[in-house]
Amino acid sequence: MICGDLKGRKVLVTGASSGIGSAAAVLFSEQDCFIGVHYFRTPEGAKETFKQVKKNSDGILLYADVRDEKQVEEMVNQFAKEAGGIDILINNAGSLIDRQSFEKATLDYHENIYATNVRSIFLVTRAALPYLKKNKGNIVNIGSVAGHTGGASGSGMYSGAKAAVATETMSMAKEFAKYGIRVNSVLPGFIDTRFHERFSTARHRKEVAERTPLGRNGTAEDVAKAILFLASDAAGFITGEYIAVNGGSYMRA
Ligand SMILES: NC(=O)c1ccc[n+]([C@@H]2O[C@H](COP(=O)([O-])OP(=O)(O)OC[C@H]3O[C@@H](n4cnc5c(N)ncnc54)[C@H](OP(=O)(O)O)[C@@H]3O)[C@@H](O)[C@H]2O)c1
Q: For the segment 69-94, what is each residue's pLDDT rounded down to a tens digit?
A: 999 999 999 999 999 999 999 999 99
Of 3.40.30.10, 3.40.50.720, 3.30.1180.20, 3.40.50.1100, the CATH number of 10-242 is 3.40.50.720
CA distance 38 to 16: 5
**pLDDT over threshold 90, residue 23:** yes
Q: What is the distance, to the nearest Å, from the Cα of residue 88 to the centroid of all Cα atoms in its chain?
A: 12
| Alpha-carbon separation of residue 147 from 44, 71, 82, 143 (angstroms) | 30, 27, 35, 7
Query: Could you tell me which residues come within 8 angstroms of residue 28 by beta carbon, excluding any fewer than 6 positions away?
Result: 6, 9, 11, 13, 35, 88, 228, 231
Which pLDDT score, from 0 to 100, does residue 126 have? 99
**pLDDT over threshold 90, residue 253:** no
Which pLDDT score, from 0 to 100, does residue 97 have? 97
41-48 — which CB contacts under 8 Å span 24+ positions? 41/17, 42/17, 42/18, 43/17, 44/17, 45/17, 45/18, 46/16, 46/17, 48/22
Which pLDDT score, from 0 to 100, does residue 1 have? 63
Rg of the chain (C-alpha set):
17
Q: From 12, 13, 20, give the residue whose CB has the most ligand 1 atoms within 8 Å, as the site to mutate.
A: 20
**pLDDT over threshold 70, residue 40:** yes
For CA atoms 211, 90, 227, 43, the dihedral sign is negative
Total residues belonging to the chain? 253
CA distance 220 to 16: 11
Domain boundaries along the sequence of the chain: 10-242
How remote is the CA of residue 94 from the centroid of ligand 1, in Å?
4
What are 183-236's pLDDT values in tens digits? 999 999 999 999 999 999 999 999 999 999 999 999 999 999 999 999 999 999
Tell me if residue 63 is catalytic. Answer: no
Question: For residue 4, what pLDDT band results from cuts at 50, 70 and 90?
Answer: confident
> What single-letter amino acid sits at 32?
D
Give percent of the chain above pLDDT 70: 99
Which pLDDT score, from 0 to 100, does residue 2 have? 58
Q: From 13, 38, 40, 91, give the residue whose CB has the most ligand 1 atoms within 8 Å, as the site to mutate.
A: 40
**First CA to last CA distance, the chain:** 28
Burial tier of 215 (Cβ tally within 10 Å: 0-12, 13-18, 19+): exposed
When the pLDDT of each residue in the chain is averaged and rounded to a whole number, the result is 97
CA distance 171 to 219: 29
CA distance 50 to 26: 8
Which pLDDT score, from 0 to 100, does residue 121 have? 98
Which pLDDT score, from 0 to 100, does residue 3 have? 74
